[in-house]
Chain A
Amino acid sequence: MKEPMSVEEVLKKLQETLGEALLSHEVREYTMGVKRKRTYRELWITIKPDAFRKTVEAIFALDYPHLHFIAGEDGGGETLTMIYSFGVFHTHPWGELSITIKFDLPKDNLVLPTITDLMIGAETNEREIREMLGVEFEGLKNKRHLFLPDDWPEGKYPWRRDEYGVEDMIKHTHRSVNEIRKMRGEE
């Protein structure tokens, strides 16, 4: 694993690679410890959605990262906020730097490139986001449901807070005993 770099160095590299696509950045500081207080810092950046792949590649160029998670937030409006969190320089005491990428994805074009070609382990995260929020990942080979059943109705996404949300999904999840009896032709 590579030697850790400071937050400023990492930020400078990302600024060089991304240019104007890097919309904003924030270095957050937290103090930890009781007897020996130390500060560790996190990098949070907001980018343009079309620079997403470039950003991830820039992070992979720093050090082979550890993918913390992929999350998405639907406030009910026109866009989804995607959150990707990576950890680089782990394996070093006090050295892990967490880089969080945030960007807004318009709901009429929920398409993102996959990162499974860089990291196979990201497949589970992408499959979960795909079924829960309806984001399509270009290049994702395995597109089967991860947590939801195979016969889940199309176009229903449990984490969405708009008309594609959970309102009428429950009746699809569990058929009542009466429905099952009716289907079997029993009284």
Chain B
Amino acid sequence: MAKTQYYVPVGPIHPALKEPIRVEAKVEGEKIVEVDVKRGFAHRGIEYMGMKRNAIQTLYLSERICGICSISHPYAFVVTAEKALGIEAPPRAQYIRTIIGELERIHSHILWLGVVAHEMGFDSLLFWTWKGRERLLDILELLTGNRINYSVFMIGGVRRDIKESHIKAIKDMISYYRTFNQEMKDVFLSDPVYKARTRGVAQLSKKMALELNAVGPVARAAGVRMDIRQDIPYDAYADIDVRAVVPQDIVGEARGDAYDITMVRLYEIDQSLDIIEYCIDELPEGKLMAIPNYVALLAKIRRTQGEAIGAHEAPRGEVIHYLKFDGKMDGPSVWKVIAPSYNNINTWAPLLLGAEVADIPIVVAYIDPCMCCNDRIAVVRDEDGRIIDPATLHRKAVEKTRKLREELGVRE
């Protein structure tokens, strides 16, 4: 008797998917026989918006591309803009950038560990890891003033210094995470249930990783020794011999499954702690910005014709920006952004074929997908179909608060 096929749509809004994306699966019993991934549910056209602003505004717009790693895109943006404009950031600024970039890698990796544990049903692990992550966010708040969207990078430097008083806090943090990461390794890598649930799931071979153009920890877990910090170093990474973390160096072989990717991420946390420690000890003295005057910086941008490609190894993989300045405008005339999930989502369809329905959340979560990195004009219209500008939107918000205050009898 022929088996009946059922169609299982997962998403765009679904508990297993943190952001809108849709996995359309055709199943026979528990087995997935056909799969299609639909994206673009929250495309914001940020590249288009960036081409209508000056370069400094575009830099802070790029920070809003990703909701979790808010330094990944500005990092790639400043590296690219400096290459195109011929500006070199001062040594101290380069080291500070690297420190913040690595702090973000640790918090992003811990966040992922929590998410993947949650997808499998280990909610106590989720709460434990996320509690451990808080200390890092506190350090980031101490250094930049914000827990997200740090607004600390600038074309040709950084806007805030790491003071003497911060260094002790960072060193305490490093020793705290050395212990905490060891505990995490013990829990994640030796737990029999976690092992059974991740071994052989979402298994990606080296050949597949290359053909699907996978990047970051996903490619590294499959045994591809690629890492922007190693292949084309920049900033303080050029002083440190960063080596890509691959499973074959840790356990002798790379299987490229969800377990290996957990291992790669856990060992990368150690590597990031080493990098931060080195940068803190070797932090050069000096100024923070190559061109501290924003008017002078914008004037330089308006005079310069140039284009460049730049990259940053974000926690999820490489972020690549292309910028072109035409020598007429304050901002880029072309801006192209590639986020790691853009490439890594390619791995879903081949991995889901033949897998079971219960593995969908793990396959989806293992690449640490970020839809907002991918889906980059939000247009808001009022009831009569008119486009609402930001000033009107703000006014409406203030009016509503006043109205509520009156209704509730709260005095100003």
Contact indicator B379/A170 (Cβ below 8 Å): yes
Q: Smallest Cβ distance from A143 to chain B, in angstroms? A: 13
Q: A64-B210, A69-B320 are in contact. Are A93 and B383 (CB under 8 A)?
A: no
Q: A31-42 CB contact bits vs B (8 Å, 1 = yes)?
A: 111111110101
A68 interface residue (CB < 8 Å to B): yes
Contact indicator A34/B384 (Cβ below 8 Å): no
A residues within 8 A CB of B239?
33-36
Cα(A68)–Cα(B311), bound, Å: 9
Contact indicator B238/A36 (Cβ below 8 Å): yes
> Within A1-44, which residues are at the interface with B (CB < 8 Å)?
1, 30-38, 40, 42
Contact indicator B379/A174 (Cβ below 8 Å): yes
Chain A residue nearest to B386 in the complex (CB): A176
Q: Smallest Cβ distance from B247 to chain A, in angstroms? A: 15
A51 interface residue (CB < 8 Å to B): no
Contact indicator B40/A91 (Cβ below 8 Å): no
Chain A residue nearest to B343 in the complex (CB): A121
B253 interface residue (CB < 8 Å to A): no
Cα(A165)–Cα(B86), bound, Å: 32
Contact of A96 among B39, B48, B214, B231 (CB under 8 A): B231
Contact indicator A83/B213 (Cβ below 8 Å): no
Q: Which of A90, A95, A146, A166 has the most CB of B within 10 A?
A: A90
A residues within 8 A CB of B241?
93
A residues within 8 A CB of B83?
30
A46 interface residue (CB < 8 Å to B): no
Q: Smallest Cβ distance from B404 to chain A, in angstroms? A: 23
Q: Determine, out of B148-156, B181-189, B260-268, B334-342, the stretch whose residues face the partner at the interface.
A: B334-342
> Within B281-312, which residues are at the interface with A (CB < 8 Å)?
282, 284, 309, 311
Contact indicator B375/A147 (Cβ below 8 Å): yes
B232 interface residue (CB < 8 Å to A): yes
Chain B residue nearest to A176 in the complex (CB): B385
Q: Which of B214, B244, B375, B381 has the most CB of A within 10 A?
A: B381
Cα(A164)–Cα(B239), bound, Å: 48
Contact of A120 among B233, B346, B377 (CB under 8 A): B346
Contact indicator A94/B40 (Cβ below 8 Å): no
Q: B231-243 CB contact bits vs A (8 Å, 1 = yes)?
A: 1111110110101
Q: Smallest Cβ distance from B319 to chain A, in angstroms? A: 11
Q: B193-228 CB contact bits vs A (8 Å, 1 = yes)?
A: 000000000000000001111110000000011100
A residues within 8 A CB of B324?
73
> Within B359-402, which residues are at the interface with A (CB < 8 Å)?
374-375, 377, 379, 381-385, 387
Contact of B322 among A32, A33, A69 (CB under 8 A): A69
Contact indicator B214/A121 (Cβ below 8 Å): yes
A residues within 8 A CB of B50?
none
Q: Which of A94, A120, A124 has the most CB of B within 10 A?
A: A124
B residues within 8 A CB of A177?
381, 383, 385
B29 interface residue (CB < 8 Å to A): no
Contact indicator B383/A178 (Cβ below 8 Å): yes
Contact indicator A176/B381 (Cβ below 8 Å): yes
Chain B residue nearest to A96 in the complex (CB): B231
A residues within 8 A CB of B230?
93
Q: Smallest Cβ distance from A114 to chain B, in angstroms? A: 14
Contact of B233 among A33, A42, A174 (CB under 8 A): A33
B95 interface residue (CB < 8 Å to A): yes
Contact indicator B40/A149 (Cβ below 8 Å): yes
Q: A66-103 CB contact bits vs B (8 Å, 1 = yes)?
A: 11110101000000000101010011111110101000
Q: A140-152 CB contact bits vs B (8 Å, 1 = yes)?
A: 0000011111000
Cα(A151)–Cα(B195), bound, Å: 44
B354 interface residue (CB < 8 Å to A): no
Chain B residue nearest to A68 in the complex (CB): B320
Q: A34-B91, A147-B40 are in contact. Are A98 and B232 (CB under 8 A)?
A: yes
A residues within 8 A CB of B385?
176-179
Contact indicator A159/B233 (Cβ below 8 Å): no
Cα(A122)–Cα(B214), bound, Å: 11
Contact indicator A34/B236 (Cβ below 8 Å): yes
B94 interface residue (CB < 8 Å to A): yes
Q: Which 3 A-B pairs have the closest CB atoms?
A: A121-B213, A176-B385, A33-B238
Q: Pick 16 A–B contacts, CB within 8 A, sort by A.
A: A31-B88, A32-B234, A34-B94, A34-B95, A34-B235, A34-B238, A36-B238, A85-B320, A87-B231, A91-B226, A100-B309, A120-B212, A173-B379, A174-B381, A176-B381, A178-B383
Q: Which residues of B contact A (CB under 8 A)?
A: 39-40, 43, 45, 48, 83, 88, 91, 94-95, 210-215, 224-226, 230-236, 238-239, 241, 243-244, 282, 284, 309, 311, 320, 322, 324, 333-334, 336, 338, 342-343, 345-346, 374-375, 377, 379, 381-385, 387
| Known interface pairs A33-B233, A98-B232, A176-B384; 10 further A-B residue pairs with C-beta atoms within 8 A, sorted by A's residue number | A32-B238, A38-B238, A68-B309, A71-B336, A73-B333, A93-B243, A121-B212, A122-B213, A124-B345, A147-B43
